[in-house]
Amino acid sequence: MSKKEIIMQYRQCFIFYTVAKEKSFTQAATKLFMTQSAISHAMKDLETEAGVALFERLHRKIELTTAGTALLATVTPLVEKFQQVEMQLQNLEQVAPLRLASCITYGEITLPQVLAQFKSQFPQQQINAQISPAEECYKKLAAGKVDFAILEGQVPKGNYQQKVIANYPLAFVAAPDFLPTTKLTLTKLLSQPLLLRERGSAVRETFEAFLTLKGLRCYPTWESTDSASLIAATKNKLGISLLPRPLVTKALAKNELVELTVTQTKLHNQITALRPNRNNPSALEKLWTFL
């Protein structure tokens, strides 16, 4: 049996199922967006193929014959199964999770609240989030391992749509009594023990690019991929750290840390969302618009 024949037979069965449930050619035609003559023609063809009458055509309604009742019992589970498949196809995009890779800063500060709000509006949509350094997020996107990436700092060139979604100021912080003053020059800053993120991180790259323009370099005494460890080390008077200000807001409010003012030095990092420059699934489009 050809694919076309299978489709035609299913269509006949579905029309028969609808007519049997509605007990009316007219109502079935309305429900299926067909003409009544098309419904009648399809049912006559089915009866011819079956070699037996399936309906008793009364004055204003129809009733199933014994053969029609038997056929309805056979086709009902098939039609209902196809209807389940159709519903699953409609919901398949929501069942398949969006794969998201986010840089650490955005992942710690903003992403949890954003995804919570998104889930409240689209509760059926699943999202798998991976929090990694920005460079790793980009590699995952380039390799097709995620559908969406959120990067911090400079964005590599590529065939991607970009959208700036946040901008974080960077803050130099120290323990309250680590220095006699909270104001210092850049030269004085570089003479202090520096507690920095690892090389390749967005915060570190922003700082080093700034220093390079001034013909300077930094030599940190502590490097870490974890901002929390830098905050802990700074609180314990091991040096001065450079971190996104939102990460240290609570510590500043509690006077566990103080922000330093460095002469002619204001740094910030943009947060940029990237997605492939192609037709994207509607779920990804919703999240992109939501950000």
For 89-137, the pLDDT digits (tens) are 656 555 578 899 999 889 988 999 999 999 998 888 888 999 988 889 9
Predicted pLDDT at 18: 92
Number of Cβ within 10 Å of residue 129's Cβ equals: 17
Instruction: Indicate the pTM of the whole model.
Output: 0.64
Of the listed ranges 3-7, 93-97, 149-153, the least confidently predicted one is 3-7
Contact 252, 244 (CB under 8 A): no
Domain boundary residue, one of 49, 68, 90: 90
Domain match, 29 and 161 both: no
DSSP code, position 260: E
Cβ neighbour number for residue 240 with a 10 Å cutoff:
23
Report residue 66 CA to chain centroid gap.
54
Considering the domain architecture, whether residues 116 and 71 belong to the same structural domain is answered as: no
pLDDT band at 280 (very low <50, low <70, confident <90, very high): low
Q: Give the total number of structural domains in the chain.
A: 2
Q: Give dist(CA 93, CA 71) in Å, integer.
A: 35
Quick check: 14 and 22 in contact, CB under 8 A?
no
Please tell me the predicted confidence (pLDDT) of residue 92: 58
Q: pLDDT tens digit string along 160-194? A: 999 999 999 999 999 999 999 999 999 999 999 99
Last residue of a domain, one of 65, 90, 115: 90
Here the CATH number for the domain that contains residue 51 is 1.10.10.10
| Phi (first) and psi of residue 275, to 5 degrees | -145, 160
**CA–CA separation, 258 and 132 (whole Å):** 28
Task: Return the pLDDT at 93.
Answer: 54
Check residue 281 and give its pLDDT.
67
Spatial neighbors of 266 by CB under 8 A, at least 6 apart, are 169
Check the CA dihedral 114-117-120-122 and report its sign. Answer: negative
The residue ranges of DSSP E strands in 144-252, in sequence order, are: 148-152, 160-174, 183-184, 194-197, 222-224, 240-244
Same domain, 116 and 250: yes
Mean pLDDT of the chain: 89
The answer, yes or no, to whether residue 88 has pLDDT greater than 90, is: no
| Domain stops at, among 90, 114, 129 | 90
Same domain, residue pair 211 and 260: yes
Residue 37: domain span:
3-90
Residues 86 and 100 in one domain: no
Q: What is the CATH number of the domain that holds 226?
A: 3.40.190.290
Span 30-44, average pLDDT: 91
Whether residue 66 is found in the same domain as residue 144: no
Give counts: helices (H), strands (E), the chain.
12, 12
Q: How would residue 158 be classed by pLDDT, with cut points 50, 70 and 90? A: confident
Q: β-pairing, 183-184 with 148-152? A: unpaired
Cβ atoms 62, 28 nearer than 8 A: no
Q: Are residues 83 and 143 in the same domain?
A: no
- Tell me: do 162 and 28 sit in the same domain: no
- Total Cβ atoms within 10 A of residue 40: 15
Pair (14, 136) in one structural domain = no
Q: 189 and 45, same structural domain?
A: no
Residues 262 and 185 in one domain: yes
Is the same domain home to 38 and 171? no
Report pLDDT digits (tens) over 208-231.
999 999 999 999 999 998 899 999
